[in-house]
């Protein structure tokens, strides 16, 4: 192996470790009501979303945001985003609700986390936002 390859491999390993630290934070925060916080912020930013949504839609939205966060944890743990291109998670509100929630998530990331891991999460969130139109919308009445 050349010196360049060794440096790149070490950087990859370091980035993967940083991603796992951020994944741990995200998974823990997800289990500690991060989903509710994201929804509340999203509805504050876009109040028409809350006024138009039924209680069942709000509960389904929370469920799907939780699944999206779990997907982001997976991306961070494995150091790749290919799972985001396989739209398995259903949407229950308009894309704007998810975009608002994920934009708030970027702001909620603690600055005490490793910079490389935060950068990875931010990129994965941006990828998810870009891919949202490919995810299936499911109507709940």
User: Would you say residue 17 has pLDDT above 80?
Assistant: no
Structure tokens at 89: 């998670």
Q: Which CATH number does the domain housing residue 31 bear?
A: 1.10.490.20
| pLDDT band with cut points at 50, 70 and 90 for residue 18 | confident
Mean local confidence (pLDDT), 12-40: 85
Query: Is the distance from CB of 38 to CB of 65 less than 8 angstroms?
Result: yes
Range of the domain at 50: 17-134
**Number of folded domains in the chain?**
1
The answer to whether residues 26 and 121 touch, using CB atoms and an 8 Å cutoff, is yes
Confidence of residue 103 (pLDDT cuts 50, 70, 90): very high
Q: Is the pLDDT of residue 114 over 80?
A: yes
Q: Is the pLDDT assigned to residue 13 strictly greater than 70?
A: no
Does 139 fall in a domain? no
């Amino acid at each position: 192996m050349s010196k360049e390859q060794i440096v790149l491999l070490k950087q990859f390993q370091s980035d993967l470790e940083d991603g796992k630290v951020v994944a741990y934070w995200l998974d823990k925060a997800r289990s500690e009501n991060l989903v509710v916080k994201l929804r509340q912020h999203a509805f504050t930013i876009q109040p028409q979303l809350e006024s138009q949504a039924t209680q069942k839609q709000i509960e389904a939205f929370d469920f799907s945001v939780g699944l999206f966060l779990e997907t982001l944890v997976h991306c961070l743990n494995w150091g790749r985003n290919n799972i985001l291109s396989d739209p398995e998670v259903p949407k229950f509100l308009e894309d704007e609700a998810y975009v608002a929630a994920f934009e708030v998530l970027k702001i909620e990331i603690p600055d005490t986390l490793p910079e490389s891991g935060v950068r990875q999460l931010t990129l994965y969130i941006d990828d998810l936002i870009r891919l949202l139109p490919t995810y299936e919308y499911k109507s709940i009445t």
